[in-house]
Amino acid sequence: MAVSAQVSLYPLGQSDLSPAIQAVWKAFDRHKLMYRMGSMSTLLEGDEATVFAALCDAFQAAAEYGGTVMQVTVSNACPPLSSLPTEVAHA
């Protein structure tokens, strides 16, 4: 089943937030997911098993930099990313 997810990452107590956030995006790249970065969250889509595996890998990668909170909303009823404006879409 195809699913979409909105992911927000909150690195805790880290002076530089970028490494943890970039680690999440690299995990999505490793799983070859389509995603779109925003200022407050990242939207992604793929098959259910790949999305959940990527979310697990992403959390583990971000947690290597310190305390981390990851908030995720998953849906099987959202429009595909390809139907949205593509100013920051990755494949």
Q: What is the pLDDT of residues 2-19, one digit of tens each?
A: 999 999 999 999 999 999
For the question of whether the overall pTM of this predicted structure is more than 0.85, the answer is yes
Domains of the chain: 2-78 (3.30.70.930)
Q: What is the pLDDT of residues 17-76, one digit of tens each?
A: 999 999 999 999 999 999 999 889 999 999 999 999 999 999 999 999 999 999 999 999
41 to each of 1, 7, 74, how far by Cα in Å? 23, 5, 13
